[in-house]
Amino acid sequence: MNWQLLGPLLVTVAVAVGGWFIGHVLTKSRDRQAEWRKEKLVQYKEYFAALAGVVGSHYNEESSKRYAIAYNTVGLFASQEVIECLHAYQEYTQLDASKVGLDEHDKRLTRLVLAIRRDLHLRPADRVDTFSFHLISARANQTKA
């Protein structure tokens, strides 16, 4: 056995195994982050679908239950910023209808949407100063003019 080659060979093997290990760990971490982001997206989509069900004239007990479940589920995975915006939006929408202004409603909803988009790391980043979001209600029996 050539002992002079053993040292460099062991170093080469150690570097190769170390490189593979680091690459494997980084890939797994990226995969977990992508899966987590995908799950968040599913839950956020369910929240907004449930929110759409309690807007306008189609509000009923079933849509209210769906919204409550979606709202409560968001707290399991959302960032603290999203949860704070969600609470601010929810508190405002629970006020008496005569005390809820559409501008403030949309402002809080826009903050919530922006927080969710940041939580999902969407690219390109939003222009916060011009970003606006509002809800629409589905209307039954719409006729074209």
Q: Looking at the chain, how many residues does it have? A: 145
Residue 136 lies in a domain: no
Residue 78 lies in a domain: yes
Kindly give the confidence (pLDDT) of every residue in the chain, 145 residues in length, as a single tens digit, with 9 standing for 90 and above: 677 888 888 888 888 888 888 887 888 888 888 898 899 999 999 999 999 988 877 788 999 999 999 999 998 999 999 999 999 999 998 887 777 788 999 999 999 999 999 999 988 989 999 999 988 877 655 544 4
Tell me which H or E stretch contains 6.
helix 3-53
> How many domains does the structure of the chain reveal?
1
Residue 100 lies in a domain: yes
Domain with 82 in it: 14-119
Six token digits for residue 14: 């150690």
Residue 138 lies in a domain: no
Residue 91 lies in a domain: yes
Global confidence as pTM: 0.74
Residue 1 lies in a domain: no
Q: Is the dihedral of CA 74, 76, 77, 79 positive or negative?
A: positive
Locate all alpha helices (DSSP H) within 55-119, ordered by sequence: 61-74, 80-93, 102-119
Residue 93 lies in a domain: yes
